[in-house]
A = this chain, B = another copy of it.
């Protein structure tokens, strides 16, 4: 009999932790046959856990961690000072093979720093990258890096392309994902010298490289994997979130100004909900931190219980599909040609 997949989750991470994390874990436990390790303050976790009845109790364990990293806390300091934080303890479980994957909706910077320092990097990887999935009208767009590394070199982006392609292939199930580079303009002559160097590497590789991807193409879903440096990627992610937020506020204000639009809005509610669900990337179960020697998923700080449940579902796939093993194989294979790895 094969061992059950063990998923450690930071019970203290996220805007509404530990409540929503626990709710999400309970939802997941009733659907999937995974062992879930809730990492955090035992007393607080039990307080919430005791509210629920009838969930499969054997599938949920608590692993105590006495400290919590706050959302705004500086990453490096939190790693140095809080040795018994839920992030540190969760990653230790991973490092010591007591868990197969770690999920956190907590402080992203702290998770990236602690993961990199605790787990180290996969062979042939120089920097880890965070990848997010943008839902589109066609296939999802997988963008990497969105903020793990703001001082990127061209070889880092080549590695992001290879890692992103492997993740897309095994988790989003597409045989030959395409790869592009985020740039301003589609022509080959466009972009900074940095972009041009990355393009040379990707062109020479055996990846299905399609060239430049303009920002608006992210939302069209015509390219599977889009690489960019972490500064630009983080800006893209936050502009999208900020604009979506502002548009919603605009819409609310306009729709409630007079009666007819208000009635209209009520009739249209199911459509809005459908969209909200569609453009909500937490539906895809969190952002993988690719390149560290261990499986780590970063969920959005605003995750609700459903998002946590989805993250647990994807975490199971990540482990089953042995994504990290495929990443290393592909880095060796693609890198060999370019003579930059191995």
Contacts and interface: CB of A to CB of B under 8 A. Distances in A.
Interface in A144-189: 147, 150-151, 182, 184, 187, 189
A207 interface: no
Interface stretch (A270-278, A302-310, A321-329): A270-278
Interface residues of A, number: 57
Contacts of A271: 251, 254-255, 257, 261, 264-265
A12 to B, nearest CB: 22
Nearest to A266: B264
Given A74-B189, A232-B231, A235-B215, A267 B275 contact: no
Contacts of A243: 219, 239-240, 243-244
Contacts of A267: 260-261, 263-264, 267
A249 interface: yes
Nearest to A267: B264
A266 B265 CA distance: 10
A230 to B, nearest CB: 8
A50 interface: no
A245 interface: yes
Interface in A222-262: 231-232, 234-236, 238-247, 249-251, 253-255, 257, 260-261
Contact of A247 (B191, B241, B279): B279
Given A243-B244, A244-B243, A137 B249 contact: yes
Nearest to A216: B242
B255 A268 contact: yes
Contacts of A268: 255, 260-261, 264-265, 268
Contacts of A257: 271
A238 B216 contact: yes
Interface string A212-223: 001111111000
Contacts of A216: 238-239, 241-242, 245
A192 interface: yes
Main SS class of interface, A = helix
Contacts of A261: 267-271
Contact of A217 (B151, B232, B242, B275): B242
A136 interface: yes
B192 A215 contact: no
Given A243-B244, A251-B275, A257-B271, A184 B235 contact: yes
A216 B279 CA distance: 17
Nearest to A184: B234
Interface in A91-130: none
A242 B263 contact: no
The 8 nearest A-B residue pairs measured at CB: A216-B242, A264-B267, A264-B268, A219-B246, A215-B238, A254-B271, A261-B271, A264-B264
29 contacts: A74-B187, A184-B234, A184-B235, A191-B231, A192-B231, A214-B242, A215-B234, A215-B238, A216-B239, A216-B245, A219-B246, A231-B232, A235-B235, A236-B239, A239-B239, A239-B240, A247-B247, A247-B275, A250-B275, A250-B279, A251-B275, A254-B274, A254-B275, A255-B268, A255-B271, A260-B268, A263-B267, A264-B264, A264-B271
